[in-house]
Amino acid sequence: MTRYNAPFEIHVHGDVPLREDVGYEQIQEALRPLWQYAGARSLAAAAESAYEDEPGIRFDAAARQLQICWTVPGGDEFRQVIEEACMALNDIAAAGAPLEVSFYDTEFDEEDESAEGEARDDFMMCFVGPTPAAIMQVQRDLLVQDVVHVMERHFDGSELGEVVGAIDKLFGQRFDALVSSMQLGKPPRGHGGSSGHGGPRKPRHLH
């Protein structure tokens, strides 16, 4: 359905690497929450963005990459919609990837001198990946980039090794806790207790 009085223009941006065996039908099914939210009957019908200068939703078959630069009118309920789409994308993703979701207040006019209050603009990051480790890896990489970018205003990059190490330690602890929680619900293997686990492989850098 078309949302003529939608409170937000919602922009989704990101590139998701896909597995070699994934085809268009699987992509369409994974993105069903998005194209149904847009009021379309198929992905193709909803792939164009609300803005002509944005490429919309595209599948680059040669690069095995889902490319999203897409705007749709909507409201706060879109948060649940994008989470459902991300859960489905986990099943076809080849590696971890971030999706940026921006909410722009359509009812706020900064040029209107009589306007009261502030714009309700908002922003959220979503992450997809084939495993929890892959998702944590991309979260870690983005955090390191952000922290280093801020701190390089005051310190040389060569001085920040300990900071990066501290971030790795935090993510390593989170990963270990995740693995432990996953194992709690599994019966022990063999007769003498667990003989190891087949949980998610620990991401690189997380020591």
- The predicted-structure confidence for 16-71, as pLDDT tens digits, reads as follows 999 999 999 999 999 999 999 999 999 999 999 999 999 999 999 999 999 999 99
Structure-model confidence comparison of residues 8 and 114, the more confident one: 8
**Residue 185 token pair:** 């619900």
Please check whether residues 20 and 45 belong to one and the same domain.
Answer: yes
Tokens 């699987």 found at: 26
In a domain, 51, yes or no: yes
**What is the pLDDT, as a whole number, of residue 10?**
97
For residue 188, what is the DSSP state?
Answer: P
102 and 140 in a single domain? The answer is no
Token pair recorded at residue 52: 């002509």
Task: Report pLDDT for 116.
Answer: 61
Model confidence at 202: pLDDT above 70: no
Q: From CA 75, how far away is CA 9, in angstroms rounded? A: 8
Domain's final residue, options 81, 102, 130? 130
Residue 35 within any structural domain of the chain: yes
Tokens found for residue 20: 């070699």
Q: What is the mean pLDDT of residues 90-100?
A: 97
Q: What is the pLDDT of residue 159?
A: 87
What are the CA-CA distances from residue 174 to residues 57, 139, 180, 199, 202 (Å)?
A: 33, 12, 10, 14, 11
User: How high is the pLDDT of residue 205?
Assistant: 59
In a domain, 2, yes or no: no
Q: Report if residue 156 sits inside a domain.
A: yes
Q: Please compute the mean of the pLDDT values over residues 120-141 and round it to a whole number.
A: 92
R_g (Cα) of the chain, nearest Å = 21
* Alpha carbon distance 207, 199 (integer Å): 16
The whole-number average pLDDT for the span 77-97 is 97
- Mapping DSSP to helix (H, G, I), strand (E, B) and coil, where does residue 105 land? strand
Residue 68 and residue 152 in one domain: no
Q: Say whether both 201 and 145 belong to one domain.
A: yes
How sure is the predictor about 199, in pLDDT bands with cuts at 50, 70 and 90?
A: very low
User: Count of alpha carbons within 13 Å of 38, Cβ hemisphere only?
Assistant: 25
Q: Which region holds residue 14: left if phi is over 0, alpha if psi is between -120 and 50, else beta?
A: left
pLDDT(83) > 50: yes
Are 40 and 64 members of one domain?
A: yes
Average model confidence (pLDDT) for the chain? 85
> How far is Cα 102 from Cα 162, in angstroms, rounded to an integer?
33
Give the model's pLDDT for residue 167: 86
Examine residue 1 and state whether it is found in any structural domain, yes or no. Answer: no
The whole-number pLDDT of residue 206 equals 54
Q: Which of 15-24, 50-59, 106-115, 185-194 has the lowest mean pLDDT?
A: 185-194
38 lies in the same domain as 92 = yes
- Expressed as residue numbers, the domain containing 171 is 131-188+195-207
Structurally, the chain folds into a number of domains equal to 2
Q: Which long-range CB contacts under 8 A does 172-181 form with residues at least 24 apart? A: 172/202, 172/206, 172/207, 174/136, 175/132, 175/133, 175/136, 175/200, 175/202, 175/203, 175/206, 178/132, 178/136
Are residue 49 and residue 123 in the same domain, yes or no?
yes
Tokens describing residue 8: 């937000």
**Are residues 146 and 91 both part of a single domain?**
no
Q: Name the pLDDT band for 109 (thresholds 50, 70, 90).
A: low
Residue 29 forms part of a structural domain: yes
Question: Which carries the bigger pLDDT value, residue 77 or residue 111?
Answer: 77
Residues 162 and 89 in one domain: no
Q: How far apart are CA 61 and CA 20, in angstroms?
A: 9
> Model confidence at 185, in pLDDT bands (50, 70, 90)?
low
